[in-house]
């Protein structure tokens, strides 16, 4: 069972990271905590403009992740050749 879970995570790592980042940003934007208490921003968080902004943030984060992953892969490959 653990092997299947690790295999699933390895195959879908980037997709899972994207969903996690998008959900994290969306939930943080949905809830606003003030001194008076918590505010749930239903209307603002469900606007298309807001959701597109959250998608853009998640996509940029994934692109940065893939860029860093490629750099690390290149450096590791060059060290193995040396």
Q: Report the 3 state secondary structure along 29-59.
A: HHEEEECCEEEECHHHHCCHHHHHHHHHHHH
Distance of CA 71 to the CA centre of its chain: 19
How many domains are contained in the chain? 1
Nearest to 26 by CA among 1, 5, 47, 4: 47
What is the pLDDT, as a whole number, of residue 46?
85
Q: Which of 2-6, 7-11, 69-73 has the highest mean pLDDT?
A: 69-73
Is the pLDDT confidence value at 2 over 80?
Answer: no
What is the pLDDT, as a whole number, of residue 1?
67
pLDDT digits (tens, 9 = 90+) for 9-62: 889 999 999 999 999 999 988 888 888 888 888 888 889 999 999 999 999 999
What is the pLDDT, as a whole number, of residue 5?
85
Q: Which domain holds residue 73?
A: 2-81
| 4 touches 11 (CB < 8 A) | no
CA distance 46 to 49: 9
């Amino acid at each position: 069972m653990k092997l299947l879970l690790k295999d699933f995570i390895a195959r879908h790592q980037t997709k899972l990271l994207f969903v996690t980042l998008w959900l994290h940003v969306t939930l943080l934007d949905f809830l606003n905590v003030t001194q008076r208490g918590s505010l749930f921003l239903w209307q603002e968080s469900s606007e298309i403009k807001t959701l597109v902004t959250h998608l853009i943030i998640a996509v940029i984060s994934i692109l940065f992740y893939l860029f860093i992953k490629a750099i690390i892969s290149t450096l590791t490959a060059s060290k193995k050749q040396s």
